Amino acid sequence: MRATLISVFPFFRELGRVVRTQFLLKYINDVELRRTIHAATNKSEEFNNFTKWLFFGGEGIIAENIRHEQRKVIKYNQLVANMVILHNVQWMSRKLKEMQNQGYPIDENILKGLSPYRTSHINRFGDYMLDLHRKAPPIDYKINFD
């Protein structure tokens, strides 16, 4: 039995090479597939750069040497990133709706240029005065664009 398994491994390695070669040939030949993969890669890289920028100190270096502590740091950083993304999307949606109400057309071309990974309005190292009695405006989940 063991000899049979060992003799099968080269077959799977060669099969993997065939599958990889087929994919590469399809990738070279199919422009739309290349566009799709490139767009997905750009989104992932943009998110990674965004979380690295949000990381305290901007270094993106985890000083902990304990695995579960490293995981906590990563999860907390992603939590902060998700909160900033939610804020950005809500703010952009409100502004787009205001523009639409003023008569500006909001179409797919405008939306393609937007990204929730904006950071220019964030003051990472500033002083923040918290007013715990201030009422936050409610999140509008039903902003409709005609």
Residue 14 within any structural domain of the chain? yes
Residue 131 within any structural domain of the chain? no
Q: Could you tell me the maximum CA-CA distance found in the chain, to the nearest angstrom?
A: 76
Residue 136 within any structural domain of the chain? no
Q: What confidence score (pLDDT) does residue 46 get? A: 92
Please give the sequence-ordered ranges of beta strands (E in DSSP) within the chain, or none if there are none: none
Can you give the pTM of this predicted structure? Answer: 0.69
Residue 99 within any structural domain of the chain? yes
**Spatial distance between the Cα atoms of 33 and 49, rounded to a whole number of angstroms:** 24
Total domain count for the chain?
1
Q: What is the pLDDT of residues 1-11, one digit of tens each?
A: 555 556 667 88
Residue 53 within any structural domain of the chain? yes
| Domain range for 74 | 2-112
**Helices vs. strands in the chain: H and E counts, helices first:** 4, 0
Q: What is the mean pLDDT of the chain?
A: 85
Residue 49 within any structural domain of the chain? yes
Q: What is the pLDDT of residues 20-43, one digit of tens each?
A: 999 999 999 999 999 999 988 998
Residue 23 within any structural domain of the chain? yes
Residue 82 within any structural domain of the chain? yes
Q: What confidence score (pLDDT) does residue 13 get? A: 87
